[in-house]
Amino acid sequence: MVLQAAQDDLVVWRPQGLYCPPGDFYIDPWRPVPRAVITHAHADHARRGHAAYLASARGEGVLRARLGDITLDTLDWGERKTVGETLVSLHPAGHVLGSAQVRIEHRGRVWVASGDYYVSGVHDENPTCEPFEPVRCDCFISESTFGLPVYRWPRQADVMAEVNAWWQANAEAGRASLLLGYSFGKAQRLLAGLDASIGPIVVHGAIEPLNEAYRAAGVALPATVPLDETLARGDLRRALVLAPPAVQGSAWARRLGDFSDAFASGWMLLRGARRRQGVDRGFVLSDHADWPGLQRAIAATGATRVIVTHGYEAVMVRWLQQQGLQAQGLRTAWGAQTEEPGESDATPLVQAEPS
């Protein structure tokens, strides 16, 4: 059953994606459209083929790095633009560099589509992008990737201390450290927390162009070196090698010789997920809000209506309804199966979650 919309809803479902009728634009559409507002550059949100794009100015570099030559207009944070009959502005989502919430205002009503977002704890912000900014609204479209009570993140500083201690122990034992993390967002967040005094930092070729976009945007990242150069100098046994999960078991990984591997993801909170990944270590680090973060973010908007998508919709909808809010779900094909569906090229299928 397709999500049922009221006649005057500011965002409705169409086969191309989420559509704003009074603005005549789509938000993160998965099929080609004339005008797309993009929350961030992960591939399930930003796709090639749209005639015109609107995104945050902070995300321009990574968006162009991923999509190439596109017709792109950008907005600074909080800058308002008239689109159709609406006023549109973009606000930080805290997920990855340039990630935005889309605020839509029309005839006195305000809706906010969050995209993916991360809500930090006290002194625990993502150092590679601006923190989540609560935006007051009547209706909030929220992700729920980790929308179960079990998901509660440890302090980021503690996790990075564990990563660095693991790397140090491997370096002292004379073996490389292969750290797996998604190329866009997670990799840069890991880099920002590494202790570069331990040894050289090597990154996979899929990660370095995004590092360059981050550095160009003023985000401080440690120096990285190519794998071939590290091999030639004989430094690999003290190196940390950062690569996307797809390299696990590949010929590229076998070039490292004797190494220990680890995976950084919110899913590593669950022992079964760590076993299935088949790595030596799992580090709990996510760019999505955990259960308390989702609750804080939704409450801060003041919204009386919440549309839940991209994860454990039914659980979050039930909890919101118990709080007296009008809530309904919007399920995509990715659901809660991957932390960063942007690493996949799967075609989405949208259904309604019963309220």
Q: Set out the domains of the chain in order of their start, with CATH numbers.
A: 12-151+287-353 (3.60.15.10), 156-283 (3.40.50.10890)
Measured CA to CA, the distance from residue 325 to residue 295 in angstroms comes to: 12
Residue whose C-alpha is closest to residue 135's, from 80, 183, 199: 80
Structure tokens at 333: 């094909």
CB burial of residue 51 (10 Å; 0-12, 13-18, 19+): exposed
pLDDT at 333: 40
Number of Cβ within 10 Å of residue 46's Cβ equals: 23
Report helix, strand or coil for 264.
strand
pLDDT at 216: 96
pLDDT at 228: 86
Residue whose C-alpha is closest to residue 62's, from 78, 79, 42, 82: 42
DSSP state of 58: G
Ordered per-residue pLDDT tens for the chain, 355 residues = 344 456 689 999 999 999 999 999 999 999 999 999 999 999 999 999 999 999 999 999 999 999 999 999 999 999 999 999 999 999 999 999 999 999 999 999 999 999 999 998 766 788 999 999 999 999 999 999 999 999 999 999 999 999 999 999 999 999 999 999 999 999 999 999 999 999 999 999 999 999 999 999 999 999 998 888 888 788 899 999 999 999 999 999 999 999 999 999 999 999 888 788 889 999 999 999 999 999 999 999 999 999 999 889 999 999 999 999 999 998 654 444 444 444 432 222 233 222 2
CB burial of residue 314 (10 Å; 0-12, 13-18, 19+): middle
pLDDT at 11: 96
Structure tokens at 45: 């949100």
Residue whose C-alpha is closest to residue 318's, from 132, 151, 149, 112: 149
Q: Which residues contact 11 (CB under 8 A, 6 or more apart)?
A: 18, 19, 20, 27, 104, 111, 113, 139, 141, 307
pLDDT at 123: 62
pTM: 0.90
Partners of 92 in the β-ladder:
100
Measured CA to CA, the distance from residue 288 to residue 294 in angstroms comes to: 9
